Amino acid sequence: MKTTKTPLFFALVAALVCWLLPFGRLIVYPFSLFVTLVHEGGHVIMALLTGSQVFSMAIATDASGLTLTAPNSTLSGILIANAGYLSATSYGALVLWLANGHVNSRKILQFSAILVVFLVIFFTLFVKDWFEAFLSTGLNINLRMKLFTILAGCLIAISLWLVSKANNQAIADFVANFLALECIFNGLGDIKTVLSLSVYTSSHSDARNLAELTGIPSVVWALGWGLISLWIILLTFRAVLKNRS
């Protein structure tokens, strides 16, 4: 199946313009929240795959996120901590590949909407620590954060679903490609941020958690995520560009 690269081209231009504009991050704010949901969802899914407990998942207004899990082993803890940053770029790469000649963009957007609803309902709304949120402190997820996650998740899911139903296929193609690129760019940006935190501070992060679990410096984990992400992105763009119209 071959497809035109026009939606990808316009999505790439739009993503770069938003990145360069001083207020560009405000324009893509909903997409940044989606990327955070994918990141946190990576922790959730890996916890489930390793048989570990998930207590809660939520995102904040600054597009950061937090997932509380109880790994059932050191290996589980390592896998769960690694899953977040790699999930964002991997999901973006997958969507980019699918949207360019393999799956109709409408279905991709609908799946993304369902994914958001699934994460929000089962890991933000119906979780063990919901009532404890009233008294949460420190790294615990508070009630305000949970409510914002539910509101943002619902709005994002509804928006993605409505776009998938647009009469013009080009709109769905553009949004799917833009969503993929934002996952990729945001994922790389987040890795760059955690790399800086690992070098200059001792702030809490997935890399810091891994350093505590393994004794391997957090900067090594951040560099590893960056290299793996770049490799995934390179392979994806090569595959997409080969599928010429």
- On whether the CB atoms of residues 65 and 39 are closer than 8 A, the answer is yes
Question: pLDDT by residue (tens digit) across 1-28?
Answer: 445 668 888 988 988 888 888 888 888 9
Domain ranges within the chain, ordered by starting residue: 6-242
Bridge partners for 57 per DSSP:
67
Torsion angle, CA of 202/207/210/216, rounded to 10 degrees?
-80
Residue among 92, 46, 88 nearest 65 (CA): 88
Amino acid at residue number 20: L
**Model pTM score:** 0.87
Q: How far apart are CA 193 and CA 163, in angstroms?
A: 31
Residues with Cβ < 8 Å from 58, sequence gap 6 or more? 40, 65, 66, 67, 124, 141, 145, 146, 148, 149
Q: Collapsing DSSP states into helix, strand and coil, what is residue 56?
A: strand
Question: pLDDT by residue (tens digit) across 117-143?
Answer: 999 988 877 665 544 544 444 445 677
Reported as a pLDDT band with limits 50, 70 and 90, residue 241 is confident
32-58 in b/e form (b: 16+ CB < 10 A) is: bbbbbbbbbbbbbbbbeebebebbbbb
- On whether the CB atoms of residues 15 and 59 are closer than 8 A, the answer is no
> 59 pLDDT exceeds 50?
yes
Weakest mean pLDDT among 119-128, 208-217, 218-227: 119-128
